């Protein structure tokens, strides 16, 4: 009798264990079903097209990955490849959580017909993913999303929306002068009080020349400006002209006392191809470039 009771009790315990296992497994499946990830790998993304609301206007960012990194397709302007890497990785890892609508809710209430952001993501195999972000947010401040052609609505608990909505300068390369394939044969400087060619200075300190070129390369753009708006310089400017056989760098700087901003016309001519930008730099650069003199490049004779 005792044995039969034991086996009955054991059978009940086993049955309860099996039931608990399957219930837990089903709960896990239900939990997993709530989340959705885009079928995309960050390093396989070849282009990202973003259409987004900026005030009352629609702004388009058309970005493509090339052998030289990410570029803006419309003007072949370099993008910030580190920022694009960060954003594409955020897209790959994003886990969108499904929103269960109440009976009185409809898709129309989420304004997906006039979204805050519409993104097209293309990979190396021309597979397209579409991400639509509503201008509506939940109580936690998370935006609502639609993925591809699905009729479901999702939220996302990451900062991907902030990356997408950041000012355009976050997407743009911050350094105009980057690739120097040749040694410069002329480096002409026009500061406020001096005009000279660095290369012809007697007793030239080449380490100072290297430091000067690095200074040019490390100039950090604060904003890109329309050429005709701020770079039609009329008053005297500080300038640096650097030339090699097939490479020329030109930098013209003007401190706008009215705006209290430093504007620059930056131009690169490389193997017959020329690019010109109007940019805003931090005003602290003005003190350095406006006071350049030959003496700064002379080797210490002591």
Q: How many whole angstroms separate alpha carbon 213 and alpha carbon 210?
A: 5
Output the six-digit token pair for 161.
């929306």
- The helix (run of H) or strand (run of E) holding residue 173 is none
pLDDT tens for residues 259-297?
899 999 999 998 888 889 999 999 999 999 999 999 999
Question: What's the average model confidence in pLDDT over 216-239?
Answer: 87
Output the six-digit token pair for 284.
């602290």
Cβ atoms < 10 Å from Cβ of 174: 16
Q: How many whole angstroms separate alpha carbon 242 and alpha carbon 244?
A: 7
pLDDT at 16 over 50: yes
Q: How many whole angstroms separate alpha carbon 47 and alpha carbon 79?
A: 12
More confident residue, 10 or 109: 109
Residue among 201, 291, 175, 270 nearest 209 (CA): 201
Question: What's the average model confidence in pLDDT over 81-102?
Answer: 95
* pLDDT class of 89 with cuts at 50, 70, 90: very high
More confident residue, 230 or 27: 230
In order of 26, 94, 243, the CA distances from 185 in angstroms are 72, 50, 6
How open is the CA angle 15-16-20, to the nearest 5 degrees? 120
Question: What's the average model confidence in pLDDT over 133-151?
Answer: 93
List b or e across 183-214, with b for residues whose CB sees 16 or more CB atoms inside 10 angstroms. ebeebbbbbeeeebebbebeeeeeeebeebbe
End-to-end Cα distance, the chain: 109
Strand partners, 251: 240, 266
Could you say which DSSP state residue 22 is in?
A: H
């Amino acid at each position: 009798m005792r044995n039969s009771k034991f086996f009955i009790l054991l059978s009940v315990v086993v049955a309860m264990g099996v039931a608990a296992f399957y219930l837990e497994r089903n709960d896990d499946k239900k939990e997993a079903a709530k989340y959705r990830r885009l079928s995309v790998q960050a390093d396989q993304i070849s282009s990202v097209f973003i259409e987004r609301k900026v005030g009352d206007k629609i702004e388009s960012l058309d970005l493509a990955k090339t052998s030289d990194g990410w570029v803006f397709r419309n003007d072949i302007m370099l993008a910030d490849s580190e920022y694009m890497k960060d954003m594409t990785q955020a897209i790959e890892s994003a886990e969108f959580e499904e929103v269960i609508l109440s009976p009185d809710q409809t898709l129309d209430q989420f304004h997906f017909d006039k979204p805050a952001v519409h993104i097209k993501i293309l990979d190396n195999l021309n597979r397209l993913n579409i991400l639509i972000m509503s201008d509506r947010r939940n109580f936690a401040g998370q935006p609502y999303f639609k993925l591809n052609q699905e009729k479901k609505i999702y939220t996302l608990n990451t900062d991907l929306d902030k990356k997408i909505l950041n000012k355009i300068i976050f997407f743009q390369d911050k350094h105009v002068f980057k690739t120097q394939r040749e040694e410069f044969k002329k480096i002409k400087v026009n500061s406020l009080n001096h005009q000279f060619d660095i290369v012809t200075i007697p007793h030239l300190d080449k380490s100072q020349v290297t430091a000067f070129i690095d200074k040019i390369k490390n100039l950090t753009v604060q904003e890109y400006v329309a050429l005709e708006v701020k770079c039609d310089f009329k008053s005297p400017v500080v300038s640096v002209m650097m030339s090699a056989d097939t490479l020329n760098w030109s930098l013209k700087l003007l401190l706008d006392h009215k705006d209290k901003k430093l504007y620059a016309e930056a131009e690169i001519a490389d193997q017959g191809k020329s690019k010109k930008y109007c940019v805003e730099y931090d005003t602290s650069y003005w003190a350095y470039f406006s006071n350049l003199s030959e003496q700064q490049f002379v080797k210490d004779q002591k």
